Structure 1
């Protein structure tokens, strides 16, 4: 019996340029789980549209809406108005919590995150090396389970730097099919899920003072879907150099 295509993985990154922290977050599912998970997410987005006026197709980018920078709703409930002033940050945080509660209960969905501490203002080459090491870890897991996977990343298809991590794999034994398929986050709900996971992982690891309210979010809502229960540090030297 042929080895199955068992994993679809959607990946996004986060971190802090000034401190050198780089984070990748992802969601993972079987092809058979793709449709019911997307249906549940769309049901959540439709509820947000009914109650808050957040369009179903509106991109929810964690850095923006959690910090109140994105005017994500066409109408805002009175509980977020104080002396007539809308508190977008309060709204954004409540939306994030609603999404995290839903993600924590999605059957068939697993999530994960990994981080690496680099020098401040890391180069793209350093980020790609981190991604390469992560891909090799996934290859080892897939080889052990005798499965194949496809990876989707946030991007517009113009940046080809990450594909080198795939093309350095040995073709006769590799388990990840093709280069990473680049999908713009504005059109992918799964990439937006990965974005929220990556942001929560960044906050859990870095613990910036301005985001103290979100420090426990990963542990409280995402750990249950993460086989490793927490963001994993992938240090330099964890994989072989090509």
Structure 2
């Protein structure tokens, strides 16, 4: 059994900000999931709790306080991170990703990216649904290759009725392009159990980890010059050893671009 904890970066709307205009929406939509083997769940939870305790001891950030990738870069709500300079905040972010990579080495990370710039959107195109379809289908393929293991989805708060309906539909009808035929093949998600479980990120360390991953990927794909001296654009590179690279043959890091 495997659990995949999921969070998003950006929004799935079709409007994005033009240069010189007020911000309408994000230039991207990213869905990231960290896949945890059930047999390692307790160990990995203890690992992260111990990491948070170490951070509390050094920086006085409470163990139960929710952490978000965006807050490490530009804290708005986290009063404890506001007390630290950017260099220290990025150092904590780096330390967390480093410990995840080294101490959760049987986990796998799956990423789906929709880059909105220079795209023409179809009237019926649904960015959120398209990205989640790819994410869920790749997770199901991962489970099949593990010997028909089963999995459960845990997601941060999102459009729960829509996601539930999508998963139920994909169990009985999930056409995907075929390499050997002009007709799509069916890739029904037989290995994923139950409806997706929606969790508030403040109550789930693993959903928080998924947030840190998604934001690190966003900063990698959309680097900002003023942050480069802190290596913010390189944060995602730390996770390379546990990326699910077989998720995409078109990208060396396994990122699925929609």
TM range (shorter): 0.7 to 0.9
1:57 to 39, 64, 76: 64
Residues 174-193 of structure 1 aligned to structure 2 (within 5 Å): 174-193=190-209
SS at match of 1:170: helix
- Decide which structure has greater strand share: 1
Q: Residue 209 in 1 paired to residue 232 in 2?
A: no
Partner residue in 2 for 1:222? 239
Q: What corresponds to 1:28 in structure 2?
A: 35
Q: Please give the alpha-carbon distance, in whole angstroms, between the structure 2 residues aligned to 1:173 and 1:112.
A: 16
Q: State how 1:143-162 maps to structure 2 within 5 Å.
A: 143-145=144-146, 146-155=148-157, 159-162=160-163
TM-score (norm 1): 0.79
Q: TM-score, normalised by structure 2?
A: 0.74
| Change in CA separation of 1:124 and 1:105 when aligned onto 2, cut-off 3 Å | farther
Matching of residue 11 in structure 1 with residue 6 in structure 2: yes
Q: Give per-residue Cα distances to partners, 1:144-180, cap 9 Å, x unaligned.
A: 4311110100017x73221122011235861111121
Residues 211, 13 of structure 1: CA spacing in aligned structure 2 closer, same or farther, 3 A cutoff? farther
Counterpart in 1 of 2:111? Answer: 113
- Equivalences for 1:69-218 in 2 at 5 Å? 69-73=76-80, 86-106=83-103, 107-118=105-116, 125-145=126-146, 146-155=148-157, 159-170=160-171, 174-212=190-228, 213-218=231-236
Count of aligned residue pairs for this structure pair: 217
Q: Kindly report the root-mean-square deviation, in angstroms, between the aligned alpha carbons of the 2 structures.
A: 2.7
Deviation per residue, 1:23-58 (Å, 9 max, x gap):
111211111100011101100101111111110000
Structure 1: tracts of 5 or more residues without a match: 77-85, 236-242
Aligned residue for 2:244, secondary structure, equals coil
Against the structure 1 CA distance between its residues 205 and 231, is the aligned structure 2 distance closer, same or farther, given a 3 Å change threshold? farther
Supply the distance in 1 between the matched residues of 2:56 and 2:79 (Cα, whole angstroms).
Answer: 10
- Whether the 8 Å contact between 2:4 and 2:36 is mirrored in structure 1 is yes
Say whether the 8 Å CA contact 1:11–1:152 is kept in structure 2: yes
SS of residue matched to 1:58: coil
